[in-house]
Structure 1
Amino acid sequence: MTTATPPANGQLIALAHFASRAVLETVLGSTGTTFHQSVTLNAVASQGGTAEHDWLIGRLTGALKIEESAAREIADELVTLKLLEESAAGQVSFTNSGRELFDSIQPGVREASARLYADIPAEDLATAGRVLTLVTERANAELDGA
């Protein structure tokens, strides 16, 4: 007996998110890095290794749906751990240790992603990407209006 594929909804998306996040956290666990720290390191990496501090805080609050104070705590923690450094000009940058940590995490993340997304047709991934982007935009617009 085959079970029909349920339509996409918030519960199904949340289940996929939490299952994928749990896999990611097993990769991160080997380095002692938390999920929020990895999101922060990814954000800095997305800017070439240096980002405006205010941009980073905005990115964390928006992506993680956390308070600004919590985002600042995460960034401060990475500075304390000497993975990021702050400049007088309001920038945060990878330290050598931070870049090494980020680079050491990436192969495990790529391998886990490859396993999770293996054999899913590209057109299905593109459709899922469009749907999830639209749902995210709508949810963010609703939150901005609240």
Structure 2
Amino acid sequence: MTKPIYVLNGPNLNLLGTREPEIYGHDTLDDIRDALLERVDGRTLEFRQTNSEGELVDWVQEASRDGAAIILNAGAYTHTSIALHDALRACTVPVIEVHLSNPAAREAFRQTNYVAPAATATIAGLGPRGYHVALDAAIRMTA
């Protein structure tokens, strides 16, 4: 049996569709999940969201052990979490970082990124489409 691809989402992504739609768009996290499930091509997805840093770290560790790849939108933890960075550095599977917006073109505090140095690839600024690109890449990387 093929291992699942983990799609892990961090804080406030449960508010997609209503939180700053001019930046993040109108699609909800459920919309993104449903669109990915249509594209998964026979693979299994573990799609999760948490506002808890510790839970996200636990899921990264689980995905490294039990998954084929990780698609990660760490939200604000991208810019603050050394614990998440350390968990990602220990990963044995590809990690694709996704951002709906382009953090490099935003506020100064978003310029610090603890995820990118531990990620296989980064996709930013494509809105929800970035998840599709990440899924295609994860499938190719783990075929």
Q: Normalising by structure 2, what TM-score?
A: 0.24
Greater strand content: 2
Higher relative contact order (CA 8 A, sep 6+): 2
Q: Normalising by structure 1, what TM-score?
A: 0.24
Greater helix content: 1
Largest Rg, 1 or 2: 1
